[in-house]
């Protein structure tokens, strides 16, 4: 006994971890030679392991086919846990209510007699009692409205009940999350954030819309989106951002004078703006006929000395007059 106590004082044994610790050993001088060090360590190690084995093999053992099995005591060195202790889940709203009222749980049978069909059916699940499918006839009551479908009404009521139950379940789980005791297999995920006030369903954004929005975002940068890093596969912006077209300084061959066309366009726009929109057909017809006669006259006679310079203006004028006529323009047609 004394020897054992002496040994114990020298060596601390933690049987649960199969660990031995010799606290009184110290190296008076560290052996410089590595082999020596290793040998000494192994020697001391052997002593320690022998000490553990002494205690271990003397434990009561049960014989098994692989070998003797001993029951280890729980480890004495305390090591930290890897996860927190599980918290008990808070009672649900129904449980609180039941506790208050003193309602006890009753064991329910799985198979119940169904009055409707006269057979034994499950209480819930596939082939169950009181199923909505099995009801052939619903008798009307005095309180029923003429246009209502009682079968549809039953379905809707059931749906409402199910929704209410789901809502309650969510509330209970939220309470559990507050305490930190959510059951391990349940996860609460956030769906799309609602807009305050409305309950709009999240709209699915189309590809074109996304493209437009991306383009708008790009052009709203300081450099107009020109130097943004493009992702691989991203198409270039649809509106390149150039909104002014300047005419070439030197005109090439081929097409007519671009400058002339440009000025024409501007002029016509201006004039059309200042004229009124409503077209007086009769007046237009009159003017057309007048023009025709004049042309005939000109063709018969010599070329008019009046410069062609005027003509374009006239044409512009005519155009405008064709486009717009004042309301004052007489409605009475003057046809020739």
Partner 1 sequence: MLKISTPKTAKSKRVLEKRAPKLVENGKKTLILQGTKTSNILNSVLTEIYHLKRDSAVRFTRKNENIRPFESGGETSLEFFSLKTDCSLFVFGSHSKKRPNNIVIGRTYDHHIYDLVEVGVENFKTMDSFSYEKKIAPHVGSKPFFAFIGEGFESIEELKHLKEVLLDLFRGEVVENLNLAGVDRVFVCTAVSSNRVFFTHCALRLKRSGTIVPRMELVEVGPSMDLVIRRHRLPNDSLRKEAMKTSAEKPKKKEKNVSRDAVQGKIGKIYIPDQKVGGMALSNKVKGLKRERRESKLKNSAGDHRSKKQKSDSN
Which residues are near partner 1 by CB under 8 A?
Answer: 16-27, 30, 34, 37-38, 41-42, 44-46, 48-50, 52-54, 56-58, 61, 64, 66-72, 74-75, 77-86, 166, 169-170, 173-174, 184-194
Task: Output phi, psi for 123, to 5 deg.
Answer: -75, -30
Closest approach of partner 1 to the CB of residue 159, in Å = 18
Whole-number minimum distance, CB 56 to partner 1, in Å? 7
Q: In angstroms, what is the minimal distance from the CB of 262 to partner 1?
A: 58
CB of 74 to partner 1, least distance (A): 8
Q: Which residues contact 35 (CB under 8 A, 6 or more apart)?
A: none
* Residue among 41 and 217 whose Cβ is closer to partner 1: 41
Cβ of residue 55: shortest distance to partner 1, in angstroms? 9
Measured from the CB atom, the residue of 50 and 258 that comes closer to partner 1 is 50
131, 134, 142, 145 from 139: Cα distances, Å: 17, 14, 10, 13
Reading the block at residue 124, the tokens are 């819930």
Where does residue 268 rank: exposed (0-12), middle (13-18), buried (19+ CB within 10 A)? middle
Residue with smaller CB distance to partner 1, 152 or 195: 195
| Nearer Cβ to partner 1 (57/94) | 57
Please report how close the Cβ of residue 130 comes to partner 1 at its closest, in angstroms.
26
DSSP 80-127: --SSPPPPPPPPPHHHHHHHHHT----PPPSEEEETTTTEEEESSSTT
Instruction: Locate 336 and state its tokens.
Output: 């020739």
Contact status, residue 90 vs residue 181, Cβ threshold 8 Å: yes
d(CA 174, CA 168): 10
- Nearest-approach distance from CB 78 to partner 1, in angstroms: 6
Q: Is 57 or 151 the residue whose CB approaches partner 1 more closely?
A: 57
Question: CA 268 to CA 283: how far, in whole Å?
Answer: 20
Tokens of 82: 């890897």
CB-based burial, 134-151: b 16+ in 10 Å, e otherwise:
eeeeeeeeeeeeeeeeee
From first CA to last CA, the distance across the chain in angstroms is 147
Token couple for 250: 């030197």
Q: Would you say 30 or 231 has its CB closer to partner 1? A: 30
Q: Least CB distance from residue 165 to partner 1, whole Å?
A: 12
Closest to partner 1 by CB, 9 vs 306, is 9
Contact predicate 52/33, CB 8 Å: no
Residue placing its CB nearer to partner 1 in the complex, 27 or 227: 27
């Amino acid at each position: 006994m004394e020897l054992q106590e002496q040994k114990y004082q020298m060596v601390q044994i933690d049987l649960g971890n199969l660990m031995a610790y010799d606290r009184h050993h110290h190296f008076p001088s560290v052996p410089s030679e590595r082999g020596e060090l290793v040998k000494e360590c192994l020697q001391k190690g052997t002593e320690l392991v022998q000490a553990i084995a002494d205690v271990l093999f003397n434990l009561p053992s049960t014989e098994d086919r692989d070998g003797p099995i001993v029951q280890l005591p729980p480890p004495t060195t305390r090591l930290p846990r890897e996860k927190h202790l599980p918290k008990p889940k808070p009672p649900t709203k129904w449980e609180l209510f039941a506790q208050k009222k003193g309602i006890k749980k009753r064991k329910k049978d799985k198979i119940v007699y169904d009055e409707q069909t006269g057979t034994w059916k499950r209480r819930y699940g596939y082939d169950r009692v009181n199923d909505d499918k099995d009801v052939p006839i619903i008798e009307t009551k005095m309180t029923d409205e003429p246009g209502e479908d009682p079968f549809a009404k039953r379905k809707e009521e059931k749906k409402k009940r199910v929704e209410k139950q789901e809502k309650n379940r969510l509330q209970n789980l939220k309470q559990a999350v507050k305490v930190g005791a959510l059951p391990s297999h349940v996860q609460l995920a956030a769906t799309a954030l609602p807009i305050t006030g409305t309950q709009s369903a999240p709209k699915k954004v189309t590809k074109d819309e996304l493209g437009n929005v991306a383009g708008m975002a790009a052009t709203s940068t300081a450099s107009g989106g020109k130097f943004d890093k493009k992702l691989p596969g991203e198409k270039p912006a649809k509106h390149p951002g150039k909104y002014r077209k300047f005419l070439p300084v030197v005109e090439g061959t081929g097409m007519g004078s671009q400058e002339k066309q440009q000025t024409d366009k501007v002029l016509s726009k201006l004039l059309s703006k200042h004229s009124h929109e409503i077209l007086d057909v009769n007046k237009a017809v009159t003017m057309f006929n007048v023009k025709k006669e004049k042309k005939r006259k000109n063709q018969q006679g010599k070329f008019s000395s009046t410069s062609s310079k005027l003509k374009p203006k006239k044409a512009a004028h005519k155009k405008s007059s064709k486009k717009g006529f004042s309301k004052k323009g007489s409605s009475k047609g003057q046809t020739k």
